Amino acid sequence: MGWNHHHGSFLELGLRAMILRMPRLIGSTIRLARRADRQALLQVAAAEIGGGVAQAVGLVAVNRVLVQLLGHGETTERLTAAAPALVAVAVTAVVGALLKSASTAGTGRLEPKVFRVATEEYLERVARVELAAVEDEEFHKLLDSAQWGAESARRMIRFCVSVITAAIALVAAAGVLTALHPALLPLLAVMTLPSAWSALTIARRRYISFHTWVQHARAGQLLGRLLIDVQAAPEVRVHNIGPFLLRHFRTMAETGEREQTRLASLAARTGLIASGWTGLATVATYGVLGVLLWTGAMGLAVAGTAVIAVRTGSANLESLVVQLNYLYEESLFVADLGRLCQEADRRLIPETGRPLPRRVDAVRFENVTFTYPGTTDSRPALEEVSVTIPTGRIVALVGNNGSGKSTLAKLLCGLYAPDAGRILWGGMDAVEADRADLFDRIAVVTQDFYRWPFTARINVAIGRPEAPYDDDLLHAAAEYAGADETVASLPRGWDTLLARGYRGGHQISGGQWQRLGIARARHRDARILVVDEPTSALDAEAEQRVFDQIRSLAAEGQTIVLITHRLHSVRHADTIYVLEHGRVAEHGTFDELMRPDADGPGLFRRMYLVQAEQYRVDGHSVALPARQGRPVAETAPGPVADPQP
């Protein structure tokens, strides 16, 4: 699986292989087009078949015109005799033009629809794969390649139509040539073989070059996007990063240009060789026609028709080879798309499982060990962790960076399964549960939650997409998070687009975004709320308000899992788990962990005192006054030798 899965596929690509695979390639394209727009597909098919018939009739009519014009008799008599055939030539030309126009219109309808269908095919699957797949480097490589497959599926429609057009026209020309003289058909093939070899060789080089240089090209595109990215714009200007990015962009672009120049030089050399061989084959073909005329084996009128048919058939055969080559090349990228869909199907979040118990007294981690897939570090992210999260309580997870707090939250949310141990919802193991049911019971708000480039209304309501956008529910969630003031300050209120760079777009601060994120989690109204550093961008009073609200939720029966580095905010937690190097170092209530003689390493007490020292002024803690309507902590955190409840 992955980037180079079909590297070297062109090594087996020859003219015979292409012809043998043509029905399968066209069949897969037709099936995709049928799903996209059956009526447009029928329109294209009817137009192409009709165009082929018109061309064959036109060639026969041309032969009839030449026979009459080059026959015996007066000029007026010959013109009169040729008139019906001339009318037939004109009619077939008009009909052919109309049918070509109809085919072009149908193809124009099909292409964007096929692109949409192909894109939806992989997006729908990728949105439902396990998080481990999304974070897997090899899966991402296949995803990058498959994204080209959707565009290739669109182009395949055009190439497929061109192949069918050329094939039908070739059959018509070949039939006429065979009727005129059997020796002309193999000469037609000889004239086209050099072009076929040239097209195959150039396409092979282009495809291999693509897979060799695609990551280089993506890196260059990334540098270009960074120069115009809204988020990066302030730092690009203040730190004068623009010249640095532009210099590297230019270096990478110039490297890509050298590769394109190399391919162009090789293509020119290959094309020159093919043109030479084609010229010799053409001379041989017309030489044979001359011999047939010289010996009387072919009449002048027949020879004239043969010249037209040879030129038409040669052009059609060359077009068929080239278009079939393009079709095959695009099909390799479409095959990447198919492989991605197969791999995504293999790694989909299961839709089966047992429903969770209606009432769960607690979620228990029993000796859970977990290592991130693909990690090179042999040390697990969690090792023999046992944690109990009672329903309707506040459980705090604290510890230094990398201690395993967020990893534990991901396992709780069902985003990963433990390598060892169990996560029990009541008495049911989470690996046996219906994942959709599990997801429905959890709401998450993190410090790096996604800022959707939608309106404020959708940014809150998207936490519960299946529910109607009820204004009362949205207002309640916003008021809970303190986001009501943010919404009121927006130019169009709830309907303000929160995306600069678009018409009507508006930018809000990090703290305002965080309030919307908290409102989103509140609007979800899940039984368990996981909050991971939810107030990192809030001011002190807003932060205290959020924590007061969190306590009120617990009082109403909602379970809160609080992950934070601000240890004063966990004072009111029912249980505090201190993690260190993926293990539970100690746990207990705030008072228990702050006792100097408490069991355990005293890690929480030590971290708390380090933070509290930052709030001391002249060796004393600072009393903070309360503001009307905005309750705050009674005192700033200070050294606690014998804390009170």
Contacts of residue 424, Cβ cutoff 8 Å, sequence gap at least 6: 363, 364, 366, 430
User: What pLDDT was estimated at residue 297?
Assistant: 74
User: What pLDDT was estimated at residue 434?
Assistant: 92
Predicted TM-score (pTM) above 0.75: no
Percent of the chain with pLDDT over 70: 87
How far is residue 365 from each of residues 29, 208, 392, 426, 528, measured CA to CA in Å?
A: 50, 50, 17, 11, 15
User: What pLDDT was estimated at residue 9?
Assistant: 44
The length of the chain is: 645
Contacts of residue 80, Cβ cutoff 8 Å, sequence gap at least 6: none
Q: In this predicted model, what pLDDT tens digit does every residue of 298-345 receive, in sequence order?
A: 777 677 777 777 777 777 777 777 777 777 777 777 877 888 888 889
Asked whether residue 360 carries a pLDDT value surpassing 80, the answer given is yes
Asked whether residue 7 carries a pLDDT value surpassing 50, the answer given is no
Report H helices in 296-402.
Answer: 300-346
Report residue 386's pLDDT band, with 50, 70 and 90 as the boundaries.
Answer: very high
Asked whether residue 616 carries a pLDDT value surpassing 70, the answer given is no
User: What pLDDT was estimated at residue 407?
Assistant: 92
Report residue 637's pLDDT band, with 50, 70 and 90 as the boundaries.
Answer: very low
Report H helices in 127-241.
Answer: 131-134, 137-180, 184-228, 233-238
Q: How far apart are the two ends of the chain, measured CA to CA in Å? A: 58
What is the rounded average pLDDT of the residues 455-472? Answer: 82
**E strands, 507-571, where?**
528-532, 559-563
Lowest mean pLDDT segment, chosen from 18-32, 559-573, 584-598? 18-32
Sign of CA dihedral 429, 430, 431, 434: positive
User: What pLDDT was estimated at residue 329?
Assistant: 73
CA distance 32 to 26: 10
Pick 176 or 575 by higher pLDDT. 575
CA distance 245 to 71: 76
Asked whether residue 436 carries a pLDDT value surpassing 70, the answer given is yes
What is the rounded average pLDDT of the residues 527-544? Answer: 73
Pick 363 or 535 by higher pLDDT. 363
User: What pLDDT was estimated at residue 468?
Assistant: 63
Average pLDDT, the chain: 80
Pick 623 or 527 by higher pLDDT. 527
CA distance 566 to 65: 94
Most confident listed range (79-83, 222-226, 584-588):
584-588
Asked whether residue 618 carries a pLDDT value surpassing 80, the answer given is no
Q: Which two tokens stand for residue 119?
A: 């894109």
What is the rounded average pLDDT of the residues 606-618? Answer: 77
Report whether 413 contacts 389 (CB < 8 A).
no
Report residue 181's pLDDT band, with 50, 70 and 90 as the boundaries.
Answer: confident
What is the rounded average pLDDT of the residues 171-190? Answer: 73
